[in-house]
Amino acid sequence: MTSRFDKLGFEARAIASTPDGSGSMPSHAEPFRLFHHPASSASMRVKLYISARGVPTSLVELVSTGLETDHRGIMVFTMPEGDPVTEALGTTDLKAFNPEGRIPVLLLPDGRKMTQSGPIIDFIEDHIDDGQGPLLPDDPWQRANVKRIMWIVAADTQPYQNIPFIIQAMGEWGMIKDTPTTHPLRLHFIRREFGAIEGIITESAGRFVVGDQVTLADCFLVPQIRNALLSGIDLTAEFPVMARVFGNLLEEPRIKPVVDAAGGAVQPLAFDAKKFEVYAKT
């Protein structure tokens, strides 16, 4: 029978042990390559999944993009200098690689690219056959709750609290001027959507967002909480269930290293404040 690996043209299929040693995971000669950056919350969703699920580097290799800021101080992710893909493209402009200009991007050995954190996770999961299943609860209601929280984060929160969006709206479309990190629009949408999530997880949470196992809801919520903390949101006072779960997640051995590698519990890098100041005055 032709496996998914054969269909994708992989050369070999080896076996890598799962982190707890109980199962096996397929790996292959050439891994998928995940283009990400430590300053990207959407990238962190996938990296948390990879770590929590124990996806080996033989299946997915992490490749950090470059990062610049434009004249407004907005972060611009770039193709990594010296990478063979960058060389082949002949430019560091990320849009030449992903027309949306966003990360994460998953590059397949045959040159195809998958974008969007959720579908990237699903696609990686489709290549794991260790009998352990994805980071989703067995119970259908709780599975739906996990996906509900993922959608609230990805569709209803992240786009509206996005600092590049806020800087552009202030500079080019006449939106009320304020500090980007604590702009009223940003605080409004964080509080509105976190209020909804707090209500849901008051019912669903155990040690983690849904129950006592790390799920994709945790992978999506952690980066969003880090963004909210950058805005000075007092998580313990305003969203106590979320604060408790976040505390547990920061101690979880498969979550902690990913958060630490990106600078800790508070999102550290959002825009270039000096460039923004000059831009805001002109």
Ligand X SMILES: N[C@@H](CCC(=O)N[C@@H](CS)C(=O)NCC(=O)O)C(=O)O
Please report, as ranges, the residues that interact with ligand X according to CB under 6 A.
Answer: 40-42, 77, 101-104, 116-117, 154, 164
**Cβ 165 to ligand X, closest distance in Å?**
8
Q: H or E segment at 26?
A: strand 24-27
Q: Closer to ligand X at the Cβ: 69 or 248?
A: 69
The torsion defined by the Cα of 152, 68, 90 and 261, in degrees rounded to 10, comes to: -60
**Cβ 161 to ligand X, closest distance in Å?**
11
d(CA 226, CA 242): 12
Q: Closer to ligand X at the Cβ: 141 or 151?
A: 151
Interacting residues of 126 by C-beta distance below 8 A, sequence separation 6+: 4
Chain residue whose CB lies nearest ligand X: 102
Give the total residue count for the chain: 282
**Cβ 255 to ligand X, closest distance in Å?**
18
Q: Closer to ligand X at the Cβ: 128 or 167?
A: 167
> What is the DSSP track for 125-162?
HTT--SSS--SS-SSHHHHHHHHHHHHIIIIIIHHHH-
**Cβ 261 to ligand X, closest distance in Å?**
16
Q: Closer to ligand X at the Cβ: 52 or 154?
A: 154
**Assigned token pair, 30:** 């050439």
**Cβ 229 to ligand X, closest distance in Å?**
16
Provide the 3-class DSSP secondary structure of residue 67.
strand
Q: Closer to ligand X at the Cβ: 228 or 241?
A: 228
d(CA 254, CA 53): 9
Q: Closer to ligand X at the Cβ: 9 or 101?
A: 101
Q: DSSP letter for 211, please.
A: B
Provide the b/e sequence for 64-103 (b: ≥16 CB within 10 Å): bbbeebeebbbbbbbbbeebebbeeeeebebeebbeeebb
Q: Closer to ligand X at the Cβ: 119 or 232?
A: 119
**Cβ 276 to ligand X, closest distance in Å?**
16
**Cβ 104 to ligand X, closest distance in Å?**
6
